Amino acid sequence: MSDLLEQDRIDADSADSSLYTEEGHLKPELPRIVAEAIENGDQSDVIDLTAPLHASELADLLEALEPGQRIRLVELAGDEFDLSSLTEVDEAIRLEIAKSLPVRRLAEAMRSLDSDDAVYILEDLEKKDQGKILAHLPVDERLLIKRALGYPEESAGRRMQTDFIAVPPFWKIGQTIDYMREDENLPDRFYEIFVVSPKYELLGTVQLDKLLRTGRSASIKDIMEESVHPIDANMDQEEAARIFQQYDLLSAAVIDEGRRLVGVITIDDIVDVIDQEADEDIKRLGGVGDEELSDSVLEITRSRFTWLLVNLCTAILASVIIGMFDATIQQMVALAVLMPIVASMGGNAGTQTMTVAVRALATRDIDAYNTGRIIRREVLVGLLNGSAFAFLIGLAAGFWYANLDLGLIIAFAMVFNMLCAALAGILIPIVLQKLHVDPAVASSVFVTTVTDVVGFFAFLGAAAWWFQIG
């Protein structure tokens, strides 16, 4: 075991990647030997193996272990277990471990964690469990965490840290530097100090580099920046991330309704928010909700069932359209062979347009000034792609069945369906956004319905009309 420990142990502050494969996956050796130490109840080996790990590495290890092994690892590691790793794991694993820990142990951990990490862990617990943990905290810390928990889910108030440095504008530079050197309760890391009024209203900020380059006799007011782009505590975290991106911020003040300073959001929190929001959008496009890899079979089944039921209804609608033309299909069996091609191509084209539209809406790249131009562009793309594939499939079908009429029919249906797919792919997300419905959640099923129904109707309807006049 000593050889493996020597190979895999890393300093918690280093960027050593020896624990990971070239693809970024955790190497199997560490989970295997930790699992063996857990099975043997060897506390010293468990601590030796896990204590040097960074919180994110410990989180990867937890996710690699079996559920029972995770709880046992936390028990064996005791006070050496880094509870900040719970902010890096799936919600199901976080709840599983948090519920297994004694209330007093969790309360002690809350005091050692950054306030935003403490809130992140507590917010998933039930209200009564939150109350039990908060009851063990000092009054000042309890009030700060309760205030953060009082803000809406996925808001800036939930993601902010309540530890920051605030000074009045009349302080001298030397006085401010001395204060930061002597006060032991300052944040571990900070990029700027905030300037506040006697009522704690935000007046401005001072960057640390500017503070250190200014003489001690100057006042804070002289070097204060008033354009600070503060973030409302009730603002959605995705909107807060957009402000960081637009103004290239490293940190930002969080204010309440009265412009009083209540916290600070830093870039590391925003990186997590961006990752979380992108993950949610991708899952919603697939109709899988908020499911996690660690969720149980029943939880995943319930999560996916609703949208599968909606898809079943839309599939039935498409089948009804096909049933309307059963006599036409009996006249030419080739129609049944070829019609999935039309629907499939339309569905893929619609999905491509919808994906671009949903992402552009999420990043605010589509607005009142360019909506018309983007719609025209997508229609033209649909028309050109439809024409190109209509020529290919029309030629193939005509030669395949030695029937020029059939080639013309499917060519017309291909152009028409891909044009409608482009329109649906761009218009449906925009309309849903206007109706205050998340386009990432609902666009997929509507676009699929349009392309299936229009594709079958256009192809079979054109065939029925052609046979009638023929």
Contact 453, 317 (CB under 8 A): yes
CA 212 vs CA 184, 193, 218, 224, 448: distances in Å: 20, 12, 11, 13, 59
Out of 125, 150, 175, a domain closes at 150
- Does some domain include residue 156? no
β-strand pairing of 192-196 with 202-207: antiparallel
Residue 155, in any domain of the structure = no
Structure token pair of residue 68: 């029972």
List 192's β-bridge partners, or say none. 207
d(CA 166, CA 412): 68
**Which amino acid is located at 131 in the chain?**
G
* Burial zone of 24 (CB within 10 Å; 0-12 exposed, 13-18 middle, 19+ buried): exposed
**Which domain covers residue 367, as residue numbers?**
297-469
Task: For 443-463, write each residue's pLDDT tens digit.
Answer: 888 888 888 889 888 889 988
pLDDT at residue 369 is higher than 90: no
pLDDT attached to residue 289: 65
Adjacency order of strands within the sheet including 192-196: 166-167, 192-196, 202-207
**Same domain for 302 and 278?**
no
What is residue 193's predicted lDDT score, i.e. its pLDDT? 93
Same domain for 301 and 270: no
In this structure, what token pair is assigned to residue 59? 């989180």
d(CA 273, CA 270): 5
CB-based contacts of 15: which residues, under 8 Å, 6+ apart? none
On whether residue 158 sits in a domain, the answer given is no
Angle (nearest 5°) at CA 456 between 452 and 458: 115
Picking from 79, 89, 88, 2, the residue whose alpha carbon sits closest to that of residue 37 is 2
pLDDT at 264: 94
Number of domains in the chain: 3
* Amino acid at the residue 98: A
* pLDDT at residue 300 in the model: 77
3-state secondary structure of 266: strand
Q: Are residues 130 and 198 in the same domain?
A: no
How many Å apart are CA 347 and CA 357, to the nearest integer?
15
| 170 and 64 share one domain | no
Q: Are residues 310 and 388 in the same domain?
A: yes
- Cα 110 from Cα 104, distance rounded (Å): 10
Q: What is the mean pLDDT of residues 21-26?
A: 79
pLDDT of residue 4: 44
Residue 292 counted as domain residue: no
The pLDDT assigned to 293 comes to 67
- The model's pLDDT over 114-147, given as tens digits with 9 standing for 90+, comes to 888 899 999 989 999 999 999 999 998 899 899 9
Given this model, what pLDDT does residue 392 score? Answer: 94
- Residue pointed to by tokens 């959640």: 441
Hey, which of 37-51, 281-295, 437-451 has the most confident mean pLDDT?
Answer: 37-51
Q: Which of the listed residues 250, 284, 318 is the one where a domain comes to its end?
A: 284
Residue with more model confidence, 224 or 19: 224
In a domain, 289, yes or no: no
State whether 139 and 230 are in the same domain. Answer: no
Contacts 24+ apart (CB under 8 A), 464-468: 464/325, 464/328, 466/405, 466/409, 467/328, 467/331, 467/332
In one-letter notation, the amino acid at residue 141 is: E
Looking at residue 470, its pLDDT comes to 59
Query: Which CATH number does the domain housing residue 387 bear?
Result: 1.10.357.20
Same domain, 197 and 243: yes
Average pLDDT of every residue of the chain: 86
Q: Do 137 and 255 fall into the same domain?
A: no
Q: Is the pLDDT of residue 15 over 60?
A: no
376 inside domain: yes
Element (H, E) at 195: strand 192-196
Rounded mean pLDDT of 323-329?
84
pLDDT at 287: 67
Is 318 within a domain? yes
Task: Say yes or no: 344 and 255 in one domain.
Answer: no
Closest Cα to residue 165, out of 138, 194, 145, 137?
194
Q: How many Å apart are CA 158 and CA 162, to the nearest integer?
A: 10
Q: How far is residue 301's CA from residue 31's CA, in Å, rounded to a whole number?
A: 28
Is 8's pLDDT higher than 50?
Answer: no
Which is more confidently placed, 287 or 325? 325
Q: What is the CATH number of the domain that holds 202?
A: 3.10.580.10
Top-confidence residue, 351 or 300: 351
Q: Which CATH number do you get for residue 41? A: 1.25.60.10
Please state the rounded mean pLDDT for residues 189-208. Answer: 92
359 C-beta neighbours (distance < 10 Å), count:
18
Residue 75 and residue 178 in one domain: no
Q: In terms of DSSP bridges, do strands 231-232 and 202-207 run parallel, antiparallel, or are they unpaired?
A: unpaired
Residue 328 has pLDDT above 90, yes or no: no
In percent, how much of the chain has pLDDT > 70?
94
- 96 and 117 co-located in one domain: yes
Has residue 161 been placed in a domain?
A: no
Same domain, 142 and 188: no
